[in-house]
Amino acid sequence: MVLTPQRILVVDDEPKICDFVGRALSNAGYGIEIARSGAEALDRAARHGYGLVILDLVMPGLDGRSVLTRLLRLRPGQAVLVLSCRSDVATKVDCLEHGAQDYLTKPFSLAELLARVRIRLRAEAVEEPPPDGTLHAGRLTLDVGHLSADRGHGPVSLTRLEFLLLRELMDRTGEAISKERLLATVWGYDFDPASNVVDVCVRRLRRKFGYDLVTTVRGEGYRLAGD
């Protein structure tokens, strides 16, 4: 995939939202494309690479949740920020567990949206890998160049957020790292301390590499096993 880091696809069937978000992002210097349906979004994503997809959930025809699943099947690792009127915890967790990097509820602050967009695009930027392209912690090997990790059973692909979280934990293997610190270093800005985005990402890592990979230290945070 040829990725254009500063190009964003906005997917929403509401013309006012598309116009508002599109103008704001354009004024901030980003290249913007608009898709007014789920089918159009998937068609554009099949033909172009985007640094970020901003996705509504409630749309006629193909809804946003279905678009998210198909989009990530089409473009594994694609950064997706869900922008939806649905504010219930179950919907947020479902989207995060199925690959969305972020979730913002309508109505929203334009300043917060722009901040989250900046962070998401910064997280997607290619970083300088170590000399041999890998990081090690016990049996765990993190392949920086390919966004994958191996705990002795073959390489497993990671999303960008999973990679960033795992790298942060590996940098301090055996130490408990607070949720607040992980929110600041991995997500890059202040989330509500009650946010469960860290918990969701940790659950995904546990499903991929075993529950014992990351332990919960009551009152302190999360710790990576040093086996």
Tell me the domain boundaries of the chain.
Answer: 7-124, 134-224
d(CA 121, CA 123): 5
Q: What integer pLDDT is reported at residue 208 of this predicted model?
A: 92
- Locus of tokens 């901030």: 28
pTM for this prediction: 0.65
Residue type, 97: E
CA-closest candidate to residue 57, choices 80, 24, 34:
80
pLDDT for 1: 40
pLDDT in tens, the chain (227 residues): 444 447 899 999 999 999 999 999 988 889 999 999 999 999 999 888 898 999 999 998 888 999 999 998 888 778 899 999 998 888 888 888 888 888 988 888 888 888 888 877 776 654 444 555 788 888 889 987 778 899 988 999 888 788 889 988 988 888 899 888 888 777 765 555 567 788 888 999 999 999 889 999 988 889 998 66
Q: Which CATH class is domain 7-124?
A: alpha beta
In order of 16, 51, 84, 124, 127, the CA distances from 196 in angstroms are 30, 24, 17, 21, 26
Q: How far apart are CA 185 and CA 53, in angstroms?
A: 22
| 134-224 CATH pick, 2.60.120.260, 1.10.10.10, 3.40.980.10, 3.30.710.10 | 1.10.10.10
